[in-house]
Amino acid sequence: MVKITFPDGNIKSFENPVTGLEVAQSISEGLARNSIALQIDDRLVDLSTLIDHDARIRLITSKDPEGLDILRHSAAHVMAQAIMRLYKGAKLTIGPAVENQFYYDIDMPPVSEDDFPAIEAEMKKITREKLPLRRKEVSKQQALEFYKDEPYKLEMVSALEDGTISFYEQGEFTDLCRGPHVPHTGFVKNTKLLKVSGAYWRADPSRPQLQRIYGTAFFTKKELKDYLRFLEEAKKRNHRKIGQALDLFSFHEEAPGMPFYHPKGMEIWNSLLAYWRLEHREAGYVETKTPMMLNRSLWERSGHWENYRENMYTATIDEVEYAIKPMNCPGAMLIYNHKPHSYRDLPLRVAEIGLVHRHELSGVLSGLFRVRAFHQDDAHLYMTPQHIEAEILGILHLAQRMYSTFGLGFQLELSTRPEKSIGSDQQWETATSGLASALDAYGQEYKLNEGDGAFYGPKIDLHIKDALGRTWQCGTIQLDMALPERFNLYYIDRDNERHRPIMIHRTVFGSIERFLGILIEHFAGKFPLWIAPVQAIILPLNDDLVPYCNEVHAVLKNAGLRVEVDSRSESLNKKVREAQLQYIPLILTIGDKEKQAGTLAVRTLDGTVKFGVTHETFLDTVLPHIHNRGLSLEIF
Active site residues: 329, 358, 376, 378, 380, 459, 505
What SS3 class is residue 86?
helix
Q: Yes or no: say if 538 and 590 are a contact pair by the CB < 8 Å rule.
A: yes
Residue 470 CB partners (closer than 8 Å, separation 6+):
234
Name the residue type at position 608.
T
* E strand or H helix that includes residue 314: strand 314-317
* 219 DSSP 8-state letter: S
**Cβ–Cβ < 8 Å for 475, 462:** yes
Count CB atoms within 10 A of the CB of residue 60: 24
Instruction: Give the C-alpha separation, 315 to 317, whole Å.
Output: 6
Asked if 402 and 274 count as a contact pair (C-beta separation under 8 A), the reply is: no
SS3 212: strand
Asked whether the beta carbons of 266 and 299 are under 8 A apart, the reply is no
Q: How many Cα atoms within 13 Å fall on the side-chain side of residue 364?
A: 11
Nearest residue to 443 via CA among 412, 398, 402, 477: 412
Which H helix or E strand runs over 230?
helix 221-236
* Cα 505 to Cα 518: distance, rounded to the nearest angstrom: 22
**Max CA separation in the chain (angstroms):** 97
**What residue ranges in 23-121 does DSSP mark as E strands?**
35-40, 43-46, 50-51, 55-61, 91-92, 97-98, 101-107
Closest among 520, 541, 630 to 583, alpha carbons compared: 520
Helix (H, G, I), strand (E, B) or coil at 156: helix
